[in-house]
Amino acid sequence: MSEKTKKPANPALIAAVKAVAVLVCICVVCVALLAVLNEVLYISDDERLARAMSKIYPDYELDTEFSADLNNTNAPDGQIKNVYRSRDGAYIIEALGKGGYQNGSVTLYVVVKSDATIFGWAVKENDKQSYIDRVPATAGKTWYVGRRVDEDLQLDMTGATVAMTSTAIYNAVKTAAWYCLNTESVKNELGLIDKVALATDVVKQLLGEEYADYKFSTANIHQNATVAADDPAEQPVKFMDLISPADYPLAYLLVGEKADSDNGIMAYVYGNEDAYEAVAVKENGTVVSTSGMEEKAELLQSITDHRVIAVKIGNQMRYAVIHSYVEDGDNVKYTVSGLKFASYPNSYILEVVVKGVDSKGTVQSVTATVSGFVSGMPSESNANVLLTQLNGATADTVLELYTSHKASGATNSSDIIAAAVLAVLNDFDAKLASGN
């Protein structure tokens, strides 16, 4: 019978096993404690709603018999999570807005009164919006308040220093408005007419069958966005002043997107729902307008001269206006304005020199003649880094450079700069392809 020899225990192994065991035990106990507390302290959706309403809509009294129509919840800029109704007829729409910082989102409770006006909103939760605390506590009682859900809700974020988070808030409010307009029962109850849909119909009719599968929505361009003046020595001018004359104001600025396309076409709608008139600019720059618009020759010229190019940056449409195109040997110098879309920063006016390399437009230099950066905002240096990094970029690589750069913090300006340069490269490539 052979004698069994006992191997000596490895003290290092024993110590390691003990260390792991202790750590695991501590984790398990902590998890158990938190699980129990979570059960006890869990805040239900109803409780969250009641808390939010106590701040913005004290008259709220939940209509328990109401059952929300949630058949269609995916809006262009967000998603409807739930809908409640107060006994006085007001709708409380829980809407998620996309397009926040790092593609995150903000979920709001938006109160829409029975007269179809927005009464207020409160934040329910957010995803990745670490600076949401900077949104003023009073914002829910001021921004967008009093606006009708069937009007073109323009950005209203006075005093916000969080451009991307504010954009997500804007999108959530727009999503709530979209729900009211696209849900038959709510639409009828609030007596709404979907004016954007009517305007879209006019635009589609104008463009014909070729554009039947385009999806139109209101363009997210800031009211104060500026573009370079005709005389470069002069101060930039307000873009809206160029396309919306005082005696013939713009009703809607629409952007049309085809599924899986990274570009969009612009449509300008004037008049009111009884008789909308429209101007549309096709991808090749051709301007078409409804009959009767010929009288507005100056306006049509202004639209033609300030052609807005819509390009997709990240998952959002951004806009740029190309002003001039000067050939200098092999190089072409563009002046382009990247349009402001959120509260900060402002429009950028860039000089972009492009050269055709291997049948592709390649950026030779990007210079900001007007920096859109707002003094006091962080990361101006990061925005300037992108200007340098775009040297050598082609239409295929702009988004790659933009994505790797954006994490550095200059989010809003990165979008504007990238959109302007991409618009230039698309234009150059189109000209190159057509032999111009």
Partner 1 sequence: MKLQRFKEIALDGTVRQNPTLRLVLGTCPTLALTTAAMDCLGMGAAVIFVLVFSNLIISLLRNVIPDKVRIPCFIVIIATFVTVVSMFIEAFLPSLYESLGMYLALIVVNCIILGRAESFASHNPVLDSVCDGLFMGIGFTLSITLMGIVREVLGKGTLFGATLWNFKIEFFAKPAGAFLTYALFIAIFNVCYNAVERKLKHKAGEQKHKAEVAAENTAAKEA
Residues found near partner 1 in the complex (CB under 8 A): 15-16, 18-20, 22-23, 26-27, 30, 33-34, 37-38, 41, 43, 51, 130, 132-133, 137
Report how far residue 155's alpha carbon sits from residue 144's, in angstroms, rounded to the nearest whole number: 8
55: nearest Cα among 84, 87, 92, 83:
92
CB of 61 to partner 1, least distance (A): 20
89, 196, 428 from 41: Cα distances, Å: 32, 44, 60
Sorted by sequence, the CB contacts under 8 Å of residue 55 that are 6+ apart come out as 122, 140
Nearer to partner 1, 88 or 133 (CB): 133
Closest to partner 1 by CB, 47 vs 230, is 47
Half-sphere exposure of 396 (CA within 13 A, CB side): 3
Going by C-alpha positions, the residue among 336, 318, 337 that lies closest to residue 326 is 336
Structure tokens at 101: 């910082």
The residue among 27 and 193 lying less far from partner 1, judged by its C-beta, is 27
Q: Which residue, 57 or 319, has its beta carbon nearer to partner 1?
A: 57
> Burial of 365 by CB count in 10 Å (0-12 exposed, 13-18 middle, 19+ buried)?
middle
Cα–Cα distance, 327 to 344 (Å, whole number): 33
CA torsion sign for 296, 299, 303, 304 is positive
CB closer to partner 1, 139 vs 354: 139
Of residues 287 and 377, the one with the C-beta less far from partner 1: 377
Q: Measuring CA to CA, which residue among 225, 267, 271 is closest to residue 248?
A: 271
Q: To the nearest whole angstrom, how small is the minimum distance from the Cβ of residue 290 to partner 1?
A: 50
Q: Give the C-alpha separation, 317 to 412, whole Å.
A: 13
Task: Please report how close the Cβ of residue 162 comes to partner 1 at its closest, in angstroms.
Answer: 12
In the bound complex, what is the minimum distance in angstroms from residue 223's beta carbon to partner 1?
A: 27
- Is the Cβ of residue 15 or residue 193 nearer to partner 1 in the bound state? 15
Under a CB-based contact definition with an 8 Å cutoff, are residues 48 and 60 in contact?
no
The nearer residue to partner 1, 49 or 80, going by C-beta atoms, is 49
Q: How far is the CB of 11 from partner 1 (least distance, A)?
A: 12
Taking the complex as a whole, the smallest distance from the CB of residue 37 to partner 1 amounts, in Å, to 6
Give the count of alpha carbons within 13 A of 344, CB side only.
Answer: 21
Cα(172)–Cα(168) distance, rounded to whole angstroms? 6
Nearer to partner 1, 32 or 357 (CB): 32
CB of 136 to partner 1, least distance (A): 12
Q: How far is the CB of 161 from partner 1 (least distance, A)?
A: 12
- DSSP-derived letter for residue 211 is G
Beta carbon of residue 23, minimum distance to partner 1 (angstroms, whole number) = 5
Nearer to partner 1, 33 or 193 (CB): 33
Mode of pairing for the β-strands spanning 308-313 and 287-289 = unpaired
Least Å from the CB of residue 15 to partner 1: 7
Which among 315, 382, 391, 318 is positioned nearest to 351, based on CA atoms? 391
SS3 content of the chain, % helix, strand, coil (to 5): 35, 25, 35
